[in-house]
Amino acid sequence: MTWALQDAKNKFSAVADTAANGTPQVVTRRGHPLVVVISYAMFREKIAPEPSSNIADAFKSCPVDVDFDTLIPPRRTRSGRGHKTRLFQEK
């Protein structure tokens, strides 16, 4: 079933109950599909079968194709920190 956003907000219990019984509910904004409400069982079956046991496994099974190593900026060198004088002078 399709719901306008305002109707879905006003009748959220009905939207949730229908989704929980196995019928996905489409919510629209200004006539365009916005979100789909599905049951938790369907979410587990179709989207996220089992939670990962650790963070590394979660990143490996991420459905988004992202190279996480590129998200971490390279370490700056000492000269890149703005140090113009040495902290400890040699004697």
| Residue 37 lies inside a defined structural domain of this protein | yes
Sequence-distant (6+) residues with CB within 8 A of 29 are 4, 5
The yes-or-no verdict on residue 91 having pLDDT over 70 is no
| Residue 7 lies inside a defined structural domain of this protein | yes
Whether residue 39 contacts residue 19, with contact meaning beta carbons closer than 8 Å, is answered with yes
pTM: 0.53
The yes-or-no verdict on residue 80 having pLDDT over 60 is no
Whether residue 28 contacts residue 7, with contact meaning beta carbons closer than 8 Å, is answered with no
Q: How many domains does the chain have?
A: 1
**Residue 87 is encoded by which pair of tokens?**
């902290």
CATH number at residue 11: 3.40.1620.10
| pLDDT tens figures, 32-55 | 999 999 999 999 888 877 766 778
In whole angstroms, give the CA distance from residue 42 to residue 28. Answer: 21
Distances from the Cα of 27 to the Cαs of 2, 31, 38, in angstroms?
6, 9, 11
Task: Residue 37: give the domain boundaries.
Answer: 2-63
